[in-house]
Each structure stands twice: as C-alpha cells, then as structure tokens.
Amino acid sequence: MVIKAQHVKKIYRSGQLRIEALSDISLEIAQGEMVAVMGPSGCGKTTLLNCLSGLDTIDEGDIYIRGDNLRDLSERERTAYRAQHMGFIFQDFNLLPVLSAVENVELPLLVTRVPSQKARRRALEMLDIVDLSDRARHRPAELSGGQRQRVTIARALVNNPALVWADEPTGNLDSTTASDIMNLLLQLNREQQQTFVIVTHAHDIGEQVHRIISMRDGKIV
C-alpha cells in the first residue's frame, strides 16, 4: 500500500471550542489507484488530504506513506519528503505570477537542487505532455484558466512523484475545460501508474475514478 492511515484523529481548538475534524479515520490506497474523496462541504475532505500528505499534523493515529510513518519525520524531513515524492494540484492554481509557465514548472526541481539545465529540459518535456509547449514563455496572466491548470499539473508531475494530491482540480473551470483536465489526469494515471487522491464535489469525476471514499462529519461512511 502506498498510503495507509490507522485510527487518525484531527482536532482543531479555538479557546474553549473543540472541533473534531477527523474522527477515527482508517484507509488504504494502493499504488496506481485513482481515488476520489467526496462528501458535503465541511465534512473533512481537505483536512484529510492535508493530513495524509503531511501538510498538517494529526492528534492521534498513524499515517504511513510508502511504509514511512509521517509521525517519525521532523517538519523539515516531511517538507523534503513532499518535494521528492509528492505533487500537488490546487483549485486556485498557486502559480507565481512573475514567472513564465516553464519557470513555474521547473521550480520544484530547482528547490530540490536539480541542475538548472536539466530542470529546464524536464519542465519543457512536461509542458509538452500537457500540450502546452507553445505557451512555455507566457506568464499566468496571459493564459486561460484551463491553460493555467495544465501548468499546475505539469508542475505537480515534473519530479515524477509517486503520489499526486488534487484539491478540487476542476473547481474553477468551465465544464468543457474541466472535462479536458480530468481526461488528462486519467491519461497520466494510466500511462505513468502514479497514485492520485482527488478531493472533489464533482460527481462526474467520481464516476471516472477507481474508487470513491465518501465522508460525512469527519468520518468515512
């Protein structure tokens, strides 16, 4: 199993207020699976993604990524682990506006100290894979929403991660563009056998993945 969670609990506290965002979550996800996490707003979907990926800590339980327990890693080690083994796709793109498409895509490689020429070559390869090589020198403001999301996907996959986390990857896109983006993710999953965990409200995405994890009130139902 590439992901294994056992009895995970996440609590948010604010003064006297105590909110149990995740309650006794246990799950397993295999290498190469494409899984959708679905449920109503506020049910804990994004919190689950953040905890499974190590972006957020947990209060109880254990999370294993490729056999490594995230609780055993320091914050610096978790950051390095994410950079080397994970990719992230967000609804609001999170592209740096002052950088061109190719500069945004190569950034994760430069952070992990890949030589600049090799990083640029790999970034251009990824833009070609997402059919955006002709926009490599354009900045985000010069791209459409769909094109920006393709850049985000290229950046998420540039380090060939074993795991890709996607939080509402089609949420800001029109239906046609959303369909194109989902087809691209399905193709990449099929061809490269990367594991995708997708948080989504979109039922059409749920119909295309291997498995749906349904959540309600911080629990898997």
The pLDDT value given to residue 16: 87
The count of structural domains within the chain is: 1
Confidence of residue 109 (pLDDT cuts 50, 70, 90): very high
Helix (H, G, I), strand (E, B) or coil at 29: strand
Tokens of 121: 């070559």
Share of the chain above pLDDT 70, in %: 100
Query: For residue 121, what are the β-bridge partners?
Result: none
- Average confidence (pLDDT) over 113-134: 93
Mean pLDDT of the chain: 92
3-class SS shares of the chain: helix, strand, coil, % to 5: 40, 30, 35
pTM equals: 0.89
The residues, ordered by sequence, that sit 6+ positions from 14 with a Cβ below 8 Å of its Cβ are none
SS3 category, 110: helix
Q: Give the whole-angstrom CA distance, residue 76 versus residue 78.
A: 5
- The whole-number pLDDT of residue 11 equals 95
Contact 3, 29 (CB under 8 A): yes
In angstroms, the CA 204 to CA 191 distance is 21
| Predicted local confidence at residue 184, as pLDDT | 86
d(CA 129, CA 121): 13
Mean pLDDT of 23-37: 96
Query: Could you list the residue range(s) of the whole structural domain that residue 142 is in?
Result: 3-220
Convert 29-57 to b/e letters by CB count within 10 Å (16 or more is b).
beeebbbbbbbeeebbbbbbbbbbbbbbe
Q: Residue 69 maps to which CATH number?
A: 3.40.50.300
Question: Please, are residues 153 and 89 in contact by the beta-carbon 8 Å criterion?
Answer: yes
